[in-house]
Amino acid sequence: MDVGLFDFDLPEDRIALRPASPRDAARLLVVRPDAAEPFADRGIRDLPSLLEPGDALVLNDTRVIPSRLRGRRYRGEDFARVEIMLHKRESEDRWLAFARPAKKLSLGETVSFDTDGASNACELARLQAEVVAKGEGGEVGLRFSLTGAYLDEAIERLGELPLPPYIAGKRPTDSADTTDYQTQFARSDGAVAAPTAGLHFTPELLAALKARGVSSHFVTLHVGAGTFLPVKTDDTDDHRMHAEWGTVSPETAAALNAARAKGGRIVCIGTTALRLIESAAEEDGTIRPFTGDTAIFITPGYRFRAVDLLMTNFHLPRSTLFMLVSAFCGLDLMKRAYAHAIAAHYRFYSYGDGSLLFRAE
């Protein structure tokens, strides 16, 4: 499809720079493709009343790591600064990352990381990474000098929280972001971007959903920076999705299948949870246990196998995520929904408001 079909104009002042406080005070646009009035302006706290007893939530429990690293590459006594954005772990000591500037990095070259302006000699005792692969779009493969838990500890110490550029470009990251940019149920380290629909949830909201008879189930998809990269091709067929690692446990798969068998609906909280569940689903909608990489790219024409409802934030123009919601509800309806949200002053992107989408039949 022509990527231009997924474009729209968004005023700068609609981009949220801080989340709602408390988290569940955000607004919620309900989109029902089969309704005479397809749009309803509600709030996140209305979610229990919008679902039915027996419905099953799918939540992503990944935790964002401080994946932006600032380093130096040395050539003799000269050095140049390099910014590294980790996006997918490949082994105990290897990561795929986006480098800036990437063109000046050579295979076999070493990047050293620190937080102070240490000398070259001091740098050699610090965390280092060798460039072992180079790809497209600034992607590099890095092999670190530390491994396993030691590498994790070094990344936690040296890294910075990777706020999306549409926030980081307007204000610095601060201490509030260390909690604001994690979900209440984050527990599995590995994401470099938050599963943002989950940011709206509070213990009180989860308790209200449980009281309503809605069950909650957890999966893990380590969200990579590649998910949020702009689509630079003119045709969706030419865009390459970056793979992300995820897992659906046998227990979660069995519980979701049991809920569906009893007439309950699968409600994915976030596009990350939806992509993982659809990757794990058979043609008949049966959800299988899954562990591995997924690079599923959902555009209009895709037939959804298992997911009935999707709660998600508002996404960027021409993004793979806007393509996904357009596949879920229909492109024309979603463009109307986003126009409604802009006119009604909904807040967009990671710290913004949410939408609850019912799948088009």
The whole-angstrom separation of Cα 142 and Cα 29 is: 42
pLDDT: is 356 or 76 the higher one?
A: 356
Alpha helices of the chain — where are they, by DSSP H?
A: 47-50, 120-123, 148-158, 165-168, 177-180, 203-212, 250-261, 271-280, 320-329, 331-343
* Average pLDDT of the segment spanning 265-269: 98
3-class DSSP assignment, residue 158: helix
Q: What percent of the chain stands above pLDDT 70? A: 96
Residue 259's pLDDT is: 98
Burial class for 233, CB neighbours closer than 10 Å (0-12, 13-18, 19+): exposed
The whole-angstrom separation of Cα 254 and Cα 145 is: 41
* Average pLDDT of the segment spanning 181-195: 95
Flag whether pLDDT at 177 surpasses 60.
Answer: yes
Q: Do residues 15 and 166 lie in contact, with contact meaning Cβ atoms separated by under 8 Å?
A: yes
Flag whether pLDDT at 180 surpasses 90.
Answer: yes
3-class DSSP assignment, residue 259: helix
Flag whether pLDDT at 200 surpasses 80.
Answer: yes
CB atoms within 10 A of CB 304: 18
* Average pLDDT of the segment spanning 175-180: 94
- DSSP-assigned states of every residue in 68-119: EEEEEEEETTEEEEEEEEEEEE-SSSEEEEEEET-TT--TT-EEEE-SS---
- DSSP-assigned states of every residue in 15-56: B-SS--SSGGGSEEEEE-TTSSS-EEEEEGGGHHHHS-TT-E
The whole-angstrom separation of Cα 346 and Cα 281 is: 33
At 92, which amino acid appears? Answer: E
Q: Which of 113-122, 216-225, 236-245: highest mean pLDDT?
A: 216-225
Angle, helices 320-329 vs 331-343, to 10°: value is: 110
The whole-angstrom separation of Cα 204 and Cα 219 is: 21
3-class DSSP assignment, residue 232: coil
Instruction: Assign 142 a pLDDT band (cuts: 50, 70, 90).
Output: very high
